[in-house]
Chains A and B, each alone.
Chain A
Amino acid sequence: MHVVGPEEGLTLPGLLVNCGDSHTSTHGAFGTLAFGIGATEVAHVLATQTVWQRKPKSMRITVEGSLGPGVSAKDIALGWIAKLGTDGAQGHAVEYAGAAIRGLSMEGRMTLCNLSIEGGARFGMIAPDETTFAYIKGRRFAPKGAAWETACADWRGLSSDEGAAFDREVLLDASEIAPTVTWGTSPEQALPITASLPEASDIPPAKAEAARAALEYMGLKAGQTLEGTVVDQVFIGSCTNGRIEDLRAAAQVLKGRKAKIPGLVSPGSAQVKAQAEAEGLDRIFTAAGLDWVASGCSMCVGMNGDLVAEGKRCASSTNRNFKGRQGRGARTHLMSPAMVAAAAVTGTLTDVRNLLEGRV
């Protein structure tokens, strides 16, 4: 639903969007107040179309500079969560700003806002701009004709005013962000693909036990390099990274290559599926040996029949690497779709940048 809402033009700047699902923050990419709610609140919204909520504090994450080739919104997200922790933005509404954010497509912005809640944020949001308007224009439920012009004028006024004060400010440099992979069972347990797994002595005491347990569950050893870790299967899809641009990024790596391991590609919606097929992306995936299936949450949630078997290691473009998320005993490594594609080609965790020569 976090793919379909925007795709249908239901998600518009300035609106409030609720859903009984954590990753509702996705819609914030449009300058929307969007957050997940619990079952009791869902009933409240059904009955009253209103929701009780305490206003969170404001936090701005500014990412200046530009991302290198093979580095995406997923890496910005996993990067800041690894740096600040899963409670790094606790109780805050995160607004993303800066040149690297303005340079992201709507797909990338949705990925970033989607993952905001994994860093503890209540909302993730990005001010609407020309990129936003170009995405929305002409969609089924988008304003049309004169209403469109009025809407765009209103939406331009939603951005934070010059000089507005935030309760917290974080500044990141896009050029320092590398393709990032999770190694543990929490999204904050993430590192650049070029890194080695932390030794017990590198970890703050408060997080040491969690890290030890995570390494044990994941079947990994402290100090080993991430790159080269043998992977059993791959998954590309989900509301985090199941959009057309995600599939294009994966296909760019897989084109003309064979996957060494099995894998599943599930587009985020029927519309994404149709577009990918029109562009021939499905044939790139199937020629590589991956399965091209229908849309849905698929292997991200482990409740629709698509599962990772016990003890198997999956390179996955999804949002949560909790124990058992993709199936009992499943070992999940979160990464961008391009990085998943690289893992498919080599059968190991791999720096996708080495497979992009002549392709970007």
Chain B
Amino acid sequence: MSAPKTMLEKLWTAHEVLQRADGVSLLWVDRHLVHEGSHHAFAKIKERGLPVAEPDLTFAVVDHYAPTRGRSRIADREISRMIDTLRDNAGRTVCGSMIWMIRGRALCML
């Protein structure tokens, strides 16, 4: 009989693809949530000509920069630029409100 395991051990084992010699593990990610602040990362993969590996497991949400009033006409240009960047990175607008998806799966929000 195997030794009793913690939930952490069970979840870790289930996601570990490999372990480096220094003990660091490569883990599979089931859900990747991105937001306005993820623009640096999108720029990085673009720079290297890499696509989003698993668009169906990647979900974009506008939250940090979402104005809580007057959302239909955002006056602050910095805020609207951050939101537009996420929309562009997410690929397409699904509907008129702040709902975006990354090629495939829609995530309704805000």
Q: Which residues of A contact B (CB under 8 A)?
A: 1, 4-5, 8, 10-11, 14-21, 24, 31-33, 39-40, 42-43, 45-56, 58, 93, 95, 123, 125, 127, 157-166, 239, 264, 266, 269-270, 293-298, 301, 303-306
User: In the complex where A45-B29, A50-B28, A304-B67 touch, is A5 in contact with B12 (Cβ < 8 A)?
Assistant: no
Pairs A–B under 8 Å by Cβ, sample size 14: A15-B30, A15-B31, A18-B32, A19-B33, A20-B37, A39-B38, A39-B40, A46-B42, A48-B53, A123-B8, A270-B110, A293-B69, A294-B69, A303-B79
By the criterion CB–CB under 8 Å, are B68 and A306 in contact? Answer: yes
- Across-interface contacts of A95 in B (CB, < 8 A): 6-8
By the criterion CB–CB under 8 Å, are B32 and A46 in contact? Answer: yes
In the complex, A158 Cα to B12 Cα: how many Å? 11
Q: Which residues of B contact A (CB under 8 A)?
A: 4-12, 14-15, 17, 20, 23-35, 37-38, 40-42, 44-45, 48, 50-54, 57-59, 61-69, 71, 76, 79, 97, 107-110
One of B6, B23, B41 near A42 (C-beta < 8 A): B41
Q: Which residue of A lies closest to B76 (CB)?
A: A305
Q: Which residue of B lies closest to A55 (CB)?
A: B12
- Across-interface contacts of A264 in B (CB, < 8 A): 68
* Closest-CB distance, A332 to chain B (whole angstroms): 17
User: In the complex where A1-B35, A294-B110 touch, is A46 in contact with B58 (Cβ < 8 A)?
Assistant: yes
In the complex, A139 Cα to B53 Cα: how many Å? 26
Kindly name the residue among B44, B61, B63, B109 whose own CB sees the greatest number of chain A CB atoms within 10 A.
Answer: B63
By the criterion CB–CB under 8 Å, are B33 and A24 in contact? Answer: yes
- Across-interface contacts of B6 in A (CB, < 8 A): 58, 95, 160-161, 164-166
- Across-interface contacts of A48 in B (CB, < 8 A): 53
By the criterion CB–CB under 8 Å, are B68 and A295 in contact? Answer: yes
By the criterion CB–CB under 8 Å, are A52 and B7 in contact? Answer: no
- Across-interface contacts of B40 in A (CB, < 8 A): 39, 42-43
Interface contacts (Cβ under 8 Å), in number, total 208
- Across-interface contacts of A301 in B (CB, < 8 A): 64
- Across-interface contacts of A46 in B (CB, < 8 A): 32, 34, 41-42, 45, 50, 52-53, 58
In the complex, A165 Cα to B5 Cα: how many Å? 8
Q: Which 5 A-B residue pairings sit nearest by Cβ, starting from the closest?
A: A296-B66, A161-B4, A42-B41, A293-B68, A1-B61
* Closest-CB distance, B36 to chain A (whole angstroms): 9
Q: Which residue of B lies closest to A56 (CB)?
A: B8
By the criterion CB–CB under 8 Å, are A19 and B34 in contact? Answer: yes
